């Protein structure tokens, strides 16, 4: 079987298959992309965290104690609060351990937020090629019809109509791809904003933990330092000495 026979068989198979299925496929993918966009927007709205308000309240709650901070953060389901809560719940482990725990929690949340966005990116990249496939199949069918048709004006109208129908697949592919790319970029921007806000609350928790770690060391240093090197203690000692001499 030579190459010419293989090409003829493939051409006949594609001609029998037609390009209509490509249009139906693109329409189905378009419906799926709309469903994904709506679902992701509702998800982001449902898990919105007012970080501008929450960061001040979190500072106050951390000063009040671990339980107050936990109670505050459990009122939200967004990534920012979930990651900060993971760190607050492990305050007793120290700042280094809490930082690792929050990083792990953020990685899990990032997967939850990025769900289905890969579908939009793939659709935006590949929908034009799917449409182009339909166009190629349609043009091959047009040439087959042209070969089978007789001469005259009917032949010209047949080929022009077939090519026009074939180009519709490319147009539909672009109409599906462009909104998908726009939606993907918008969702990615929203997710990156959430990740940045997560870093804000994580930084507040880590700052509090480091402060807690430093205070015991400062107290120990003050205890170990001789009183002569402590100005306050030295002044107190001088006052005691003056009182003793006066007496």
Query: Is 15 in contact with 140 (CB distance < 8 Å)?
Result: yes
2 band by pLDDT with thresholds 50, 70 and 90: low
91 band by pLDDT with thresholds 50, 70 and 90: confident
What is 169-235 written as a DSSP string?
Answer: HHHHHHHHHHHHHHHHHHHHHHHHHHHHHHHHHHHHHHHHHHHHHHHHHHHHHHHHS-GGG-HHHHH
Query: Is 205 in contact with 62 (CB distance < 8 Å)?
Result: yes
Query: Is 234 in contact with 228 (CB distance < 8 Å)?
Result: yes
Residue 234 covered by a domain: no
Residue 235 covered by a domain: no
7 band by pLDDT with thresholds 50, 70 and 90: low
Query: Is 84 in contact with 204 (CB distance < 8 Å)?
Result: yes
Residue 18 covered by a domain: yes
Query: Is 150 in contact with 104 (CB distance < 8 Å)?
Result: no
The structural domain count of the chain equals 1
Residue 239 covered by a domain: no
Residue 171 covered by a domain: yes
Q: What is the span of the domain harbouring residue 174?
A: 3-224
Cα–Cα distance measured from residue 77 to residue 48, given in angstroms and rounded to the nearest whole number: 8
Question: Once rounded to an integer, what is the mean pLDDT over residues 145-165?
Answer: 64
Asked whether the CA dihedral 200, 204, 209, 211 is positive or negative, the reply is: positive
Instruction: Tell which wins on pLDDT, 113 or 160.
Output: 113
Residue 80 has a pLDDT of 95
Residue 214 has a pLDDT of 52
Residue 218 has pLDDT above 50, yes or no: no
The share of the chain scoring above pLDDT 70, in percent, equals 70
Question: Once rounded to an integer, what is the mean pLDDT over residues 204-209?
Answer: 90
> Which tens digit of pLDDT belongs to each residue from 43-53?
999 999 999 99
CA neighbor of 176 nearest in space, from 139, 243, 126, 231: 126
Residue 105 has pLDDT above 50, yes or no: yes
Instruction: Tell which wins on pLDDT, 69 or 159.
Output: 69
Question: Once rounded to an integer, what is the mean pLDDT over residues 2-10?
Answer: 66
What phi and psi values does residue 2 have, to the nearest 5 degrees? Answer: -85, 175
Residue 25 has pLDDT above 70, yes or no: yes
Mean pLDDT rounded to a whole number for the chain: 81
Look-up of token digits 């032949």: 155
Residue 180 has a pLDDT of 95
Residue 219 covered by a domain: yes
Alpha-carbon torsion angle 27, 29, 33, 34, nearest 10:
30
189 band by pLDDT with thresholds 50, 70 and 90: very high
> Which tens digit of pLDDT belongs to each residue from 116-150?
999 999 999 999 999 998 888 888 777 766 666 55
Residue 203 has pLDDT above 70, yes or no: yes
Residue 246 covered by a domain: no
CA neighbor of 197 nearest in space, from 93, 97, 113: 113
Residue 49 covered by a domain: yes
């Amino acid at each position: 079987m030579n190459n010419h026979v293989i090409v003829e068989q493939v051409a006949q198979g594609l001609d029998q298959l037609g390009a209509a299925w490509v249009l139906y496929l693109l329409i189905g993918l378009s419906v799926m992309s709309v469903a994904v966009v709506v679902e992701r927007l509702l998800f982001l709205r449902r898990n919105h965290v007012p970080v501008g308000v929450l960061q001040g309240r979190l500072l106050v709650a951390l000063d009040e104690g671990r339980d107050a901070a936990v109670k505050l953060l459990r009122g939200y389901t967004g990534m920012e609060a979930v990651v900060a809560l993971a760190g607050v719940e492990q305050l007793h482990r120290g700042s280094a351990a809490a930082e690792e725990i929050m990083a792990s929690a953020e990685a899990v949340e990032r997967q939850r937020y990025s769900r289905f966005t890969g579908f939009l990116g793939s659709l935006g990249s590949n929908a034009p090629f799917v449409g182009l496939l339909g166009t190629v199949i349609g043009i091959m069918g047009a040439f087959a019809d042209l070969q089978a048709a007789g001469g005259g004006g009917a032949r010209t109208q047949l080929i022009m109509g077939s090519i026009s129908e074939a180009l519709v697949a490319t147009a539909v592919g672009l109409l599906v791809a462009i909104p998908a790319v726009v939606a993907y970029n918008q969702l990615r921007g929203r997710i990156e904003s959430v990740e940045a806000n997560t870093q804000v609350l994580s930084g507040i928790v880590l700052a509090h933990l480091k402060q807690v770690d430093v205070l015991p060391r400062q107290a120990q240093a003050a205890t170990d330092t001789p009183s002569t090197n402590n100005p306050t203690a030295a002044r107190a000692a001088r006052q005691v000495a003056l009182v003793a001499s006066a007496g």
